[in-house]
Amino acid sequence: MENKSAQDPHRPLEYDLRKYLLLLATMVATVTYTAGFNPPGGVWQETEARHLAGDSIIRDTHYPRYIMFFYCNAAAFALSIVVIVLIFILAILHEKNGIWISMFPLRLAMVLNLFLWDRNDKNHLEAIGQGTGNNPPNPEHSVGAISPVVSREEGSQQPGKEKEKEEEEKNQRRKVLMLLATFVMSVAYVAGLSAPGGYWERSQEEGRHHADAGDPVLWVHHSVHLRAFVGYNTTSFVASLLIIMLLLDQKQKIIFLPLDMKRKAVPGRAHMLYAYITIALVGLVGAYVAGSCRHSDTTIYALSLVATVLICIGILKVVLGCMPKLSQTPKASSRSGENNENNEDTFRDKTPTNGGLLSNMNNEDDILEKAQSLVVLLSTLIATVTYQAGLVPLGGVWQENQDGHKAGKPILMSTQAKRYKVFFYCNSTAFVASLVIIILVRYKPLLKRHILEVAIILDLFGLVGAYAAGSCQDVSTSIYVITLAGAVLIYVVIHIVFITLEDEDKNKTSVHSTVQTGPPVINPLPSDLYVHKRRKRLLLFSVLGATLTYQAGLTPHGGFRLKDDELSHHAGDPVLLYNYPRRYKAFFYCNSLSFMSSIALIILHVNPNLYRPAIRSYALSVCVATGLLALMSAYAAGSTQHLKTSIYVFALAVLLLLVMILFLN
């Protein structure tokens, strides 16, 4: 692996780290979008005492804290989208025109994004236990043991040239650690905004304990567990942030490889990184044990499971170390692999550079292999959202045993049984298909038989069916939603046809005008490498939009009605639909447009004969931009029931985009 940064002195560091930055920005967008529709503290279930049903409880009980959460969360979501767009602009301008742009907008957006996200999580954790008359658990105390270490950190000497194999192994380790830190950060953030045990819907007085509506239930009877959960969770969250900061800093190389005789000194940054990883994992386990257990014996059993797993890992390591065949086989295979690579390099040198029969035969296999990581990402995210949708019943559950209904049973199973069954089986189909895809990707013989494409299409159609049945109250609305995907596909085809005809006319004109003067000047089409890179970015956008909007469409802001009332409000229907019908329709159709356009684009990305002309004609870019605009509109309309707040959110997104454009110019 050549050091490309050394070859181009003007190459910014952000370009080399674009994959990690995209992963981080995508994760931030996912958790902030979900948190915007499910605010901490819960929502009011009924309209009474000047409280609007579906409104956030802490908006009435702790208004300043709610404002801090809402706008920090909205700004973090908007900034994450801006970061993704800026990274794509950076890559496209360099790959197409070979130019670099100012990195100040991107750096500013990333710093503000992480700062607002971090303050948002700490702000809510500080609110846990407020109103009880006791000192609430302060996350700053648990962070104090970590933060000063960063200020004491000093630069280490940058190592010289590393071998190609060593650099590749180091990058692989960095990827694994980045995924681990991102996973810990997202889990800790979501857990910090949703305290274990839920929240009180009304003010409670039990002895010396007082709890307001929106306060954690655990504070009254299990305050020690709650304090431990807050401390461990905050420690894990901050440690994951520090891990990401160390991984993104490439000015001082971090040595991930084992020590050998040539490397006697390891920089302190590597030891610090391993310490942060240990702290993050211990904090995550501690938060899980403290938050999920209510009794001492259960806590001991949970901790013993962790010790048992570690013992099993140690036993497996010893067993594998005692088997010489397994330990020697990789070395032999690696040597043979090196010989094969040398032979392949020699063969490539003897082969004409304009392409040969071998490259044409393996072209389709290369396309499938390059898309494996994106297919796994798509399947993993779909499996995640469908799993959550299956565990949290659509429309809520009955709260009491009455009128022939059992508490805990899904409401829609009693009120709209056919609709619920369609949603359930389509959602289950998508979930199972996602798991099958993850398994199929590992077997290359199956890839050649188009089995993977069939599984992906089945997965996407199951997702569309579940969304149409779960988010709509009637059949006609479901049909309208499905036609949105068809409209996107029709637009792409029309766009490709008209752009292709226009290019042909230009080429014919250039041919006639240069018959006597010289050879015709034909507009060159983008290379296959350029199309492949654009495909990966557009597919990442589509996967992000599909997973966000699927979950938001099934669980809109404000929740669902839990019982019928005298105003003809039916149990299982969205609260926002009755409070503000126009606002709900704006949210619903913007969210549905973003979801269906994302699904349509993913379907187009399956077949090279479809996505290649669509990418070259910029049809997919137009659809992605429309989907992102619809996503922001859905967030502004659906994350609050107040018009003024929605206007502020939309204005905030537009302002951030304009500022970044001005800095780019």
- Alpha-carbon distance of 136 to 230, in angstroms, equals 10
Nearest to 231 by CA among 282, 301, 178, 167: 282
pLDDT of residue 176: 64
β-partners of residue 410 are 397
Length of the chain: 665
How far is it, in rounded angstroms, from Cα 229 to Cα 347?
60
Cα dist. 583→122, 143, 220, 587 in Å? 31, 41, 37, 6
* Sequence-ordered alpha helix ranges (H) in 293-409: 296-321, 324-350, 357-361, 363-370, 372-391
Least confidently predicted of 142-146, 209-213, 530-534 = 142-146
> Where is average pLDDT lowest: 153-162, 389-398, 629-638?
153-162
Backbone angles phi, psi at 144, to 5 degrees: -60, -30
Which pLDDT value is given to residue 148?
39
Highest mean pLDDT among 283-292, 381-390, 514-523: 381-390
Could you give the C-alpha distances from 13 to 19, 55, 150, in angstroms and in order? 12, 44, 21
pLDDT at residue 407, rounded to an integer: 58
Name the maximum alpha-carbon separation found in the chain: 99
What's residue 208's pLDDT? 60
Where does 514-638 have alpha helices with state H?
A: 528-554, 575-579, 581-604, 608-616, 619-638
**Angstrom distance (rounded) from CA 19 to CA 476:** 42
pLDDT for residue 483 is more than 80: yes
- Residue 526 pLDDT exceeds 60: no
pLDDT, residue 147, reads: 42
Q: Give exposure, 118-155, as e/b (b: 16+ Cβ within 10 Å).
A: bebbbbbbbbbbbbbeeebbbbeebbeebeeeeeeeee
Q: Taking CA 549 as the corner, what is the angle to CA 657 and CA 471, rounded to the nearest 5 degrees?
A: 140
Please return the burial class of 384, using the count of CB atoms within 10 Å of its CB with bins 0-12, 13-18 and 19+. middle
Contacts of 461 (CB under 8 A, 6+ apart): none
Give yes or no for residue 273 having a pLDDT over 70: yes
Q: Using CA atoms, how far apart are residues 475 and 491, in angstroms rounded to an integer? A: 25
Please state the rounded mean pLDDT for residues 515-520. Answer: 49
Those residues with Cβ within 8 angstroms of residue 165's Cβ, 6 or more apart along the chain or in another chain: none
Average pLDDT over residues 10-35: 70
Percent of the chain residues past pLDDT 90, beyond the cut = 0
Q: Which of 60-64, 192-196, 479-483 has the lowest mean pLDDT?
A: 192-196
Instruction: Give per-residue pLDDT as tens, 540-564.
Output: 778 878 888 887 888 777 667 666 6
Tokens at 453, concatenated: 């494409």
**What integer pLDDT is reported at residue 266 of this predicted model?**
46
* Top-ranked range on mean pLDDT: pick from 109-123, 166-180, 225-239, 496-510: 225-239
Can you say how many angstroms the Cα of residue 244 is from the centroid of all Cα atoms in its chain? Answer: 16
Phi, psi for 620 (deg, rounded to 5): -70, -35
Average pLDDT for residues 511-523, to the nearest whole number?
A: 48
Spatial separation of the C-alpha atoms in residues 76 and 79, rounded to whole Å: 5
Which pLDDT band, with edges at 50, 70 and 90, does 163 fall under?
low
- Summarize pLDDT for 75-130 with one digit per residue, the tens: 777 777 777 777 777 766 666 655 555 555 666 666 666 566 555 555 555 444 44
Q: Is residue 600 scored above 80 in pLDDT? A: yes
Tokens for 284, please give them: 């995550």
pLDDT for residue 342: 44
Ramachandran angles phi, psi of 107, nearest 5°:
-65, -40
Q: Give the residue extent of every domain in the chain.
A: 137-152+164-294, 372-471
pLDDT > 80? residue 387: no
pLDDT for position 48: 65
Is the confidence at residue 139, as pLDDT, over 70? no
Q: Examine the pLDDT at 523 and tell me if it is beyond 60.
A: no
Residue with the bigger pLDDT between 329 and 580: it is 580
Instruction: Tell me how far the alpha carbon of residue 384 is from its chain's centroid.
Output: 11
Contact status, residue 100 vs residue 11, Cβ threshold 8 Å: yes
Residue 347 has pLDDT above 80, yes or no: no
Supply the pTM of this predicted model: 0.60
What six digits make up the tokens of 130?
């407020």
pLDDT of residue 506: 53
pLDDT at 487 over 80: yes
Mean predicted lDDT score pLDDT of the chain:
67
